[in-house]
Every structure is written in C-alpha cells, then in structure tokens.
Amino acid sequence: MSDKCVLQAEEVSLHILNKAILHQVSFTARRGEVVGVLGPNGAGKTTLLKVLSGQRDSQGLVYWNGRAIGDYTIQALARQVAVVNQINDVVFSVTLQQVVRMGLLPHKSLLSRQTKSDDRLIKQAIKAVGLEEKTQQQFSSLSGGEQQRTLIARALVQRAPLLILDEPVNHLDVYYQHQILQLLHDLASQLDVTVVMSLHDLTLAAQYCDALLLISEGKLVASGSANAVLQPDLLSSVFNIDCHVTQRDGKPSVSFSPKRKPVLDLAGWKP
Amino acid sequence: MSRQLLWMTLCIFAVAACGASLLYGAAELSAADVWECLIDNCASPADTLIFWQIRAPRVAVGFLVGVGLAVAGATLQNVTRNSLTDPYLFGVVAGAGLGASVATLLFTESFTAKFGISWSDPETAFSLALPAAAFLGALFSVALVQLLVASALGRRTEHLLLAGVAVSFMLGAFSHFLLFLAEPFAANKVVFWLMGSLARAETWYAWVMLPVVTLSVLILLLFGRQTDALLLGDESARSLGVNVRLLRMISLAICAALTACIVSYCGGIGFVGLMIPHIVRNWLGVTSRTLILGCVLLGGTFMVIVDIFARVALTGQEIPIGIITSAIGSMFFFLAIRQRSQ
C-alpha cells in the first residue's frame, strides 16, 4: 500500500424522489488499500459503489487518480475500474470462459484480435478463482458462488487498478469466502490494486480490509481502521441488535446477542 | 460433431442448395445446361434468358433475403436481449411496409397529377424512393417500439413482444389503408406485402441488396465483441466500456436497413429471423461473431431451399414464400416458447 491517495469521494449525495439515498459521503483510499463498506440493508452501500464506479451520477465528486470519474471516456474508465455486481438476467447460454473473456474488452479496439497472451491471461484468471474444471459450462447453470467467482475472474482479466465489488462473498461457502477475500487482499498487496467492496460479515471485513466505512441511512457514520469502526455501541445502534466485539489475533471479532423475542405475531393465524 | 466439421457442412449445404435451386423451376434446364451457363455461355439464347434473367437472380435474391432476415433477427435478439423476436414480430417489417406504401402512394398517377409533380424518370425515381421510404418506415417502427417499452412497459420479454406486435398491427393497418386509397388493385399489393414472395426477383434487386447486406454484416462483425458484452446485461456491458446506447442505436438501424431493402422488393417474410438464430445458437454458440456468420450461411441456405419448395410443390403455380416460412416459423415459435417455460 502506498501513501498516495488515489480514490477520493467528496460530499457525494444522491437523492431519488426527494429521498436522500446518500448524504454527503466523503472519504479517501490509498493505492493498494482494501476498503470494506459496511452497513445494514438499504443503507446505500450498493448505490455508493455505483457512484464510485461511475455507473450512477451524483452530486459531489469522485476522483480517481486526480481526475473526476465523469471526465473519463467510457472505455478509459473501464480500463481503470472493474466492477463485480450480482448478475441475474442471463438470456442466452453463454459459457464461463466467454464471460471471463469479456474482461479483455476495454483493452481491445474494434479490429484487434485475441492473442496468445490473452488466452493465457484468461486461463490464469479462471485458475485463480478455482474454476478451471468448469470452463465450458454455461454461466447460468453455475451456482451463485461460482457465478460470483467467474465475474471476479473477469475483473482480473480486465486488469483495472481499481476493483469495486458488491458483496463479493455473498453465496459463497466459508472456504471460498476466505479464498476470495485472500485473493483480493493479495491483489491489493502484490499488484497495488485498490479494492472497494461491500460486505455483510463484520468479522471477515475486519480480517481482510485495511479500512472500513460504516454507512447508515445514506450517511457515513464511521470510517478508519477496523478497531476504530467496529465499536460495540455504534454497531448496536446502526444494526439494531446487541453487538459484542472481542479481539482475536489483533483484529476485532464481532458477535451478536439477539433478543430472541418473537418477531411475528402469530396469534389467531392458522395455516 | 466438431465445430470445424459443422462449419464445413453448412458451407457445403449452402452451395448445394444454390446449385439445386438453379436446377429446379417451371422451364426445363438440365444439369448439363446449368453447368454450361455457369462456366461458359449457355447453349441457346432461350437458356441464357431463363438462366440469367430468371433462375440466377432468384437464387441470389433468395440467398440475400435469407441472410438479411436471419442476421437482422439475430441482431434484434441480441440487443433487446430477447430470444423471441424477429423483424416481423418486432414491427420492423410493418414499418418498412408502411414506408413502402407511402412511396407507392406518392408515385401513383392520380397523386402526381394532383400535385403537379413530374419525374423525368419515374421508374428509377420510384425504385430508389421505395427502399429509402421503407428504411425510414422501419426506423420509425423501431423508435416507436423502443419508446413504448421505455415509457410504459419496462424491458420485460413479454412487454417487448407485445409492444412489437401492437406496433406491427397498427402500422400494418395504416399502410393497407394507404394502399387502398392509392391503387385500384390494392388487394394484390396488400397480399404481396403480407405474404412476401421472391417471384418478382430481378438481377438489380440483388445488386441493391448485396452492398446493404455485406456492409451490415461487416459492421455487426466489427461490433461483435461489444455485442457479446450485452449478454450479461446493460450495466455489465457499460462497466466493460461499451457505449450501450450507441451500440443499440447502430444495431437497430442496421436491422431497419436490412429489413427495409428486403421488404421493398420481396414483401414481408416472417419468422426466418426468429428460427435461424435459434438454431445457430444451439449448434455453434451464442457469441455474436459466430452467430452472425452462422446466420449468413444457414439463413441463406434455408431461404433458397424453401424457395425451391415454393416453386415445385404445386404444379403450374408457386406458393408465396412467406406462407411457407410463417407455417414453419409459427410452429417453431411455439416450440421455442415451450422450451423456455420448461
């Protein structure tokens, strides 16, 4: 991680129908830093990531490498920012390999051909996410976790210095949660890729992220190191559930004590 | 079957179908006569006339129409992300038909006399105005469907289909009405637009279609990788650096151009653009470049074969080709819907 601050959000706000989805969110990230975006459902995590990746306009400014995101051409931006989103409408039976190959697109002009080194890159990326057995399988037939890993492989092929992921470990089993987060961590530490991702698992976030952003109702309520952000009182009020934070291997570990009160009032309800 | 073998088979079939189509027809031409015409000069002036004025243009136009419809269908399906559409169902054919009807109306004697327009060469003017007007009509229908979907319906498959069908009926009704105003024998024209036919194929049709079809195919191949990115949705494509709106506009304009030049000369031929891309996707794969090239080969071949059938099935008269494609296509449509719902 270098000291240079490459990603900068300045008072990012977004209103939809007079409702503030994001309210004056400002933060910075350094090159090679892994940033975790935390917050309850509907807090604005996904929207923030979309603004950061230039997929949504907002009030306020986002700078990447000292240049406003909106000033990049669409193809130049794709060479700088790779996005991994959940995909849920695949219409034709495209294969895993074809999806990964799409990552070459920002680096190709209309006339250029696919080279041997492109093929190697695709193969490496598929291997990195552990899917080399399923190269020719249809994307839509893969499990949610495998689709997620395929899209991460596509982002690897895209070779962008900023990687933005919306809940990349959703749908993944414990093994692959750690595997993927370690992969992202390695990308950051070894290749100086800056990673910004939203996560639900607070302990995992503490383990793998260099910095955390905690968002609640569109506002940034805390940011900084895991120890600074994962405060029991703050978490309890943001997530509306009792949180306990203990230290494990120098990192905070979060556990919850739910009130175990019935949520549903089933009196008089007979199926 | 390996992919190379499949491609080779498709090529062989294409050549064989064209050869067969040169052999069959109302007039007697033996294989030897056809061969002679192809490599040298025909044996008799009558053969020359039959071969170069009737048979060859028909095969060429038939093949190009098949290519154009299949490629237009594949492109429409790709950019609307909907496998159940083709230029016919999407309303592009009806739009082109409306344009063509307007051109027909503008060139009727009663109309030109009324407004004191005189063309120095009315025939040439008409033959140029017809595809141009059809193209504008096709663009209009594409825009209309997009507008309907964007404003009220949302991008669901069913909505896109319904919007296409609605626009198709609306523009169809309008153009038929215009034709009835314009011509004493309008019913003939309407039947021609509705059913489609290769019976009027002439050499110069092929010369107009060839550059349009070739150029369209080349542009689509050029944008193949970009179109592939749409397979995972607009947002995903945009994040890969694709200008989705521009790509969609170019692709739809190409569909309109292809459909317009086909409809101008051969009327509305339905379902080819639905069937052929479906089959090519199953046989060869979904990526755009493969799909387009597959549609070129299979679309052309299919049309030529159907045309042979249209000419020889009933002795003494030929069946309008659109009847046959619609008959096969509607069944195919049903099967495709069933496959989707499973």
Whole-number pLDDT of residue B126: 80
Instruction: Please say if the pLDDT value at position B153 is more than 60.
Output: no
Q: Which helix (H) or strand (E) element contains residue A219?
A: strand A219-224
B contact residues 25-84, partner A, Cβ 8 Å cutoff:
81-83
The tens digit of pLDDT for each residue in B85-110 reads 889 888 999 999 899 888 877 777 66
Q: Which chain A residue is nearest to residue B283, measuring alpha carbons?
A: A93
Distance from CA of residue B72 to its chain's centroid?
7
Whole-number pLDDT of residue B122: 73
Query: From the CB of residue B123, how many other CB atoms can be counted at a distance below 10 Å?
Result: 9
Instruction: Please say if the pLDDT value at position B125 is more than 70.
Output: yes
d(CA B110, CA B112): 6
pLDDT over 90 percentage in chain B: 41
> In chain B, which residues have their Cβ closer than 8 Å to the Cβ of A76?
241
Best of B75, B239, B242 to disrupt the A interface (most A CBs within 10 Å) is B239
Mean pLDDT of B158-180: 85
DSSP A135-168: TTSBGGGS-HHHHHHHHHHHHHHHT-SEEEEEST
Whole-number pLDDT of residue A91: 80
What are the angstrom distances between the C-alpha of B239 and each of A75, B2, B118, B243? Answer: 9, 34, 55, 9
What are residue A91's phi and psi, to 5 degrees?
Answer: -90, -40
For chain A, the residue count is: 271
Whole-number pLDDT of residue B156: 66
Residue A32 CB contacts under 8 Å (≥ 6 apart), including other chains: A1, A2, A188, A189, A191, A192, A193, A194
Instruction: Please say if the pLDDT value at position B232 is more than 80.
Output: yes
Amino acid at residue number B8: M
**Choice among A14-18, B38-42, B145-149, B228-232 with the minimum mean pLDDT:** B38-42
What are the angstrom distances between the C-alpha of A178 and each of A84, A129, A247, B163? Answer: 17, 12, 19, 47
d(CA B293, CA A23): 50
> In chain A, which residues have their Cβ closer than 8 Å to the Cβ of B81?
89, 91
The pTM for the full model equals 0.88
Q: Tell me the CB-side half-sphere exposure of residue B228, using CA atoms within 13 A.
A: 28
A158/B240 CB distance under 8 A? yes
At residue B178 the predicted structure's pLDDT band, cuts being 50, 70 and 90, is confident
Q: Which chain A residue is nearest to residue B244, measuring alpha carbons?
A: A74
CATH of region A5-256: 3.40.50.300
Instruction: Please say if the pLDDT value at position B258 is more than 90.
Output: yes
- What is the layout of strands, in order, in the sheet containing A162-166? A81-84, A162-166, A194-198, A34-38, A211-216, A219-224
Whole-number pLDDT of residue A167: 92
Whole-number pLDDT of residue B127: 78
Residue A79 CB contacts under 8 Å (≥ 6 apart), including other chains: A106, A107, A158, A159, A160, B241
Among the partner residues A92, A93, A110, nearest to B222 by beta-carbon distance? A110
Whole-number pLDDT of residue A125: 94
Residue B221 CB contacts under 8 Å (≥ 6 apart), including other chains: B288, B289, B292, B293
d(CA B73, CA B275): 9
Contact (CB, 8 A) for A193 and A226: no
Whole-number pLDDT of residue B267: 86
A74/B233 CB distance under 8 A? no
The tens digit of pLDDT for each residue in B276-330 reads 999 999 889 889 999 999 999 999 999 999 999 988 888 778 888 888 998 998 8
Whole-number pLDDT of residue B44: 82
Q: Which tokens is B200 given?
A: 């009027």
Q: Tell me the CB-side half-sphere exposure of residue A162, using CA atoms within 13 A.
A: 25
d(CA B169, CA B213): 27
Q: Which tokens is B184 given?
A: 């004493």
B239/A78 CB distance under 8 A? yes
Instruction: Please say if the pLDDT value at position B157 is more than 70.
Output: no
The tens digit of pLDDT for each residue in B318-328 reads 888 888 998 99
Going along chain B from its start, the domains and CATH numbers come out as: 3-341 (1.10.3470.10)
According to DSSP, the residues that pair with A15 across neighbouring strands are A20
Instruction: Please say if the pLDDT value at position B46 is more than 90.
Output: no
- 3-class state of residue B1 by DSSP: coil
> In chain A, which residues have their Cβ closer than 8 Å to the Cβ of B241?
74-79, 105-106
Q: Per-domain residue ranges for chain A?
A: 5-256
A98/B286 CB distance under 8 A? yes
Distance from CA of residue B326 to its chain's centroid?
13
Q: Which tokens is A124 given?
A: 């490496």
Q: Is A218 left (phi over 0), alpha (psi -120 to 50) or beta?
A: left
Amino acid at residue number B47: D
Contact (CB, 8 A) for B284 and B290: yes
What's the whole-number average pLDDT of chain A?
91
Residue ranges of chain A with pLDDT lower than 50?
none
Amino acid at residue number B37: C
A92/B233 CB distance under 8 A? no
Compute the nearest-CA separation of B282 from chain A (Å). 9
Q: What is the CA radius of gyration of chain B?
A: 20
Distance from CA of residue A226 to its chain's centroid?
17
Whole-number pLDDT of residue B15: 94
B2 touches chain A (CB under 8 A): no
The tens digit of pLDDT for each residue in A95-139 reads 999 999 999 999 998 888 888 999 999 999 999 988 999 999 999
What's the whole-number average pLDDT of chain B?
86
The tens digit of pLDDT for each residue in B207-222 reads 889 999 999 999 999 9
Whole-number pLDDT of residue A264: 78
Q: Which tokens is B264 given?
A: 């101008």
Contact (CB, 8 A) for B89 and B100: no
Expressed in percent and rounded to 5, the helix, strand and coil fractions of chain A are 35, 30, 35
Whole-number pLDDT of residue B181: 77
The closest of B193, B208, B201, B196 to B98, measured between CA atoms, is: B193
Interface predicted TM-score (ipTM):
0.87
Instruction: Please say if the pLDDT value at position B163 is more than 90.
Output: no
> In chain A, which residues have their Cβ closer than 8 Å to the Cβ of B238?
55, 74
- 3-class state of residue B185 by DSSP: coil
Residue B187 CB contacts under 8 Å (≥ 6 apart), including other chains: none
